[in-house]
Chains A and B, each alone.
Chain A
Amino acid sequence: MRLLTTSLAGLAFASSALMAASPAWAQQALVPAQSEILFVSKQMGVPVEGRFKKFDAQIAFDPAKPATSKIAFTVDTGSATLGVKESDAELPKATWFNVPKFPQATFQSTAIKAAGPGKFDVTGKLSIKGATQDVTVPVTLTQSGNITTATGAFAIKRLAFKIGENEWADTSMVADDVQVKFKLALTGVGKL
């Protein structure tokens, strides 16, 4: 009996040691409820904020080894909203996101570099509406409890992705620059 208890304890110890040794990314996940992806476009000088309601991430990120870390994103383009019914009815159409043909926008990291304490430059390929562009996104990480929050912002040119075609390609109406801002809550990221 004593032997059994000891071996069980040993087994428990061994398995926890094994878990600790296993790659951190095995349990990394996005917490959608605490995350947001916003985009700010300018319509005749008026900043208009929109958001994607549905997105997911596949993350294998080790703050100690950024070079071997990977981040992939999928965003459901059909979940874009400006908070106004009339506009939201337009966004899925071919002129804008063309959701039936391109239901998802993706980001796949190609290189991650440390850029200071808690800061990383994430370079990767951003694909929207069938067009792919290289982007570098500065990301800041903060940790609180078991949640790691990644925040950042970068600018894209909407016309490079043909977001707003034909009459809407006029940048005096809707500016070419679109700011993308994100806050992503992640679990399972190792200590910074």
Chain B
Amino acid sequence: MNPSRPVRYTATAIALHWLLAIAIVGVFCVGLYMTGLPFSPQRLKLYNWHKWAGVTILTLSVLRLVWRITHRPPALPAAIEHAMPRWQQVAHHATHHLLYALFFIVPLVGWAYSSAAGFPIVFLGIVPLPSFVPVSPELAEAIKPWHEITAYALAALVVLHVAAALKHHVIDRDGLLSRMLPGRG
């Protein structure tokens, strides 16, 4: 094995990573934009698309987690791991665990908020999804900031994750990013 070419993630893991990366960045931007819109059909449309996208991301994240558990990701190449100070190793694991936690927490909190506010989610306008919290304006108000807070936390972690990946790619030039890039390994 060529040491400069670390063992890659599986094709499925790579596909899910990039699909969800685009979806999460997209749904975050729509979320930021839609909340500033005046009351209008456009706003209603974007809110529903945002919810459908969130449910899709949640579902794909379940598949992704199952795939990750059944197909362990490649360990960090020994040379890279040795070059990392201890705090970086801790940060590396913590970031990935927190990212995964938030893949579930952010959409679930959004779903709970929508349900509590009296707007049950109907996926694609066709499939009614169950509400796991009661309709309650007080509960909705209590939940609302947490969807935003957790979404910003996820955004911050994504920035950190991207920065770290680029640092490996551009500064360390250790080929770590190629493990997750689509195309030939």
Residues in chain A within 8 A of chain B (CB atoms): 43-49, 82-84, 86-87, 89-90, 167-168, 170, 173
Which B residues are CB-close (under 8 A) to A47? 120, 122
A45–B128 alpha-carbon span in the complex (Å)? 8
Q: Which of B39-47, B80-88, B89-97 sits within the interface?
A: B39-47
State whether B122 touches A45 (Cβ < 8 A). Answer: yes
- Known A44-B45, A46-B48; contact A167-B120, beta-carbon cutoff 8 A: no
Residues in chain B within 8 A of chain A (CB atoms): 39-41, 44-45, 48, 117-122, 124-126, 128, 135, 137
Task: Give the shortest distance, in Å, between B122 (CB) and chain A (any CB).
Answer: 4
Name 27 A/B residue pairs within 8 A (Cβ), A-sorted.
A43-B48, A43-B119, A44-B44, A44-B48, A44-B122, A45-B124, A45-B125, A45-B128, A46-B119, A46-B120, A46-B122, A48-B118, A48-B119, A49-B118, A83-B117, A83-B118, A83-B135, A83-B137, A84-B117, A84-B118, A84-B137, A86-B39, A87-B39, A89-B39, A90-B39, A167-B40, A170-B41
Chain A's closest residue to B120 (CB) is A46
Task: Give the shortest distance, in Å, between A97 (CB) and chain B (any CB).
Answer: 14
Which A residues are CB-close (under 8 A) to B121? 46
Chain B's closest residue to A167 (CB) is B41
A48–B122 alpha-carbon span in the complex (Å)? 11
Which A residues are CB-close (under 8 A) to B128? 45
Which B residues are CB-close (under 8 A) to A87? 39
Which A residues are CB-close (under 8 A) to B48? 43-44, 46
Which B residues are CB-close (under 8 A) to A49? 118
Given contacts A43-B119, A44-B122, A167-B41, 4 further A-B contacts (CB under 8 A): A44-B45, A45-B122, A45-B128, A84-B137
State whether B41 touches A168 (Cβ < 8 A). Answer: yes
Q: Which 3 A-B pairs have the closest CB atoms?
A: A45-B125, A45-B122, A173-B41
Chain B's closest residue to A170 (CB) is B41
State whether B45 touches A82 (Cβ < 8 A). Answer: no
Which B residues are CB-close (under 8 A) to A44? 44-45, 48, 122, 125
State whether A45 touches B126 (Cβ < 8 A). Answer: yes
A48–B114 alpha-carbon span in the complex (Å)? 11
A149–B134 alpha-carbon span in the complex (Å)? 26
